[in-house]
Amino acid sequence: MDSPLALTLGEPAGIGPDITFAAWRRRTELGLPPFYILADPGFLARRASRIAPDVPISVVEPPGANAAFETALPVVDIGVEVGAEPGHPDQSSAPAVLAAIRRGVADVAAGRACAIVTNPIAKNVLYRSGFTEPGHTEYLAKLATQQSGVAARPVMMLWSPELAVVPVTIHLPLRQVVEALTSDLIVQTGQIVARDLTARFRIARPRLAVAGLNPHAGEQGTLGDEDVTVVRPAVERLKAQGVDARGPLAADSLFHQAARLTYDVVLAMYHDQALIPIKTLAFDHAVNVTLGLPFVRTSPDHGTAFDIAGTGRADPGSLIAALTLAARLAGNDPAGLAHRT
């Protein structure tokens, strides 16, 4: 891995700058890969003067990031002046967020960066500015499609050494999950997961455990027929395509330690079925990994934490894990999901 990681600013009024400073401070102790942050250098310098006066800022272009990283936090100027104060997004927030994402995608497409790590954003701030994409991941997929000319179908995976999960449906009210969940959607998601676990994580034959939708995976249809009519046919189709998939499996017994040794990833049917177990097991070091993109993208598995932004109290653990995993995947390090604790 010769190119550095591109780290986006995220919501400037949030904790993205804070955890970036904290991660850079620990670069030597943890052997972190070189990265640069896409931001307004003046804004970062002002935030650093408040909570991290020991972190020097060096304005660079990506080729100079590796050399600068040892003695200063490398910053690539996104050309947007930021005035947001901690905890208080303003009219500069959305333009800065989007400019950093666009530049990150352009840098990785041009080979100036080996992967993208994204600091947390506040979607409601983007929506108020006229942003029309459903979220961060969809915007990255749109930019990737524009860059490559090939439609990208992103899949969100939450990864930790203890557990990896993929929610097949994501930000939907529970009453809409049943309508949105189809065998085709499960199959498409499983195909992308299996492909990227092989290509990115170097797992020769990924083992997919597919959770049932209903309690006890439907009890043979007595607790809802979706597991019989939707989930099971999808699992059979994945098997027929050569994917090592099994299910539907009762979700209430799928996440204990012995069970986790039997699979590499769980395909969960809805958001909380996936995120409650991983946030219980790995709250401070789980990583959001976007599969299905033509480049590696990771992100901390937490939000903007406006209430503690600018205080220096934010925990950088998830960002450190995201940086470490992005570098591993970009370098095709075989240490991936194969080891379970």
Q: How confident is the model over 135-169, as pLDDT tens digits?
A: 888 899 999 998 878 888 999 999 999 999 999 99
* pLDDT of res. 340: 44
Domain housing 331: 1-153+293-341
Least confident of 4-8, 126-130, 184-188, 194-198: 126-130
Burial degree of 135 (CB within 10 A; 0-12, 13-18, 19+): middle
The verdict on 269 and 307 lying in the same domain is no
pTM of the model: 0.92
pLDDT digits (tens, 9 = 90+) for 9-53: 999 999 999 999 999 999 999 999 999 999 999 999 999 999 999
The verdict on 230 and 212 lying in the same domain is yes
Last residue of a domain, one of 254, 284, 314: 284
* pLDDT of res. 2: 85
The verdict on 132 and 18 lying in the same domain is yes
Q: At what angle do helices 16-25 and 317-330 cross, to 10 degrees?
A: 70
The verdict on 254 and 303 lying in the same domain is no
The verdict on 169 and 133 lying in the same domain is no
Is the Cα torsion angle 318, 320, 325, 327 positive or negative in sign? positive
The verdict on 1 and 148 lying in the same domain is yes
The verdict on 17 and 135 lying in the same domain is yes
The verdict on 2 and 147 lying in the same domain is yes
- For residue 211, what is the domain's CATH number? 3.40.718.10
- 46 vs 338, residue with greater confidence: 46
The verdict on 110 and 220 lying in the same domain is no
Amino acid at position 235, single letter: V
The verdict on 38 and 106 lying in the same domain is yes
Nearest residue to 190 via CA among 219, 171, 205, 210: 210
Number of domains in the chain: 2
Tokens standing for residue 59: 């304005």
**Contact by Cβ (8 Å): 57, 28:** no
Last residue of a domain, one of 252, 284, 316: 284
The verdict on 148 and 42 lying in the same domain is yes
The verdict on 212 and 253 lying in the same domain is yes
Beta bridge partners of 167: 268
* pLDDT of res. 339: 40
Nearest residue to 185 via CA among 198, 203, 201, 172: 172
Average pLDDT, the chain: 93
Burial 77-92, CB ≥16 within 10 A → b, else e: bbebebbbebbebeeb
Last residue of a domain, one of 239, 260, 284: 284
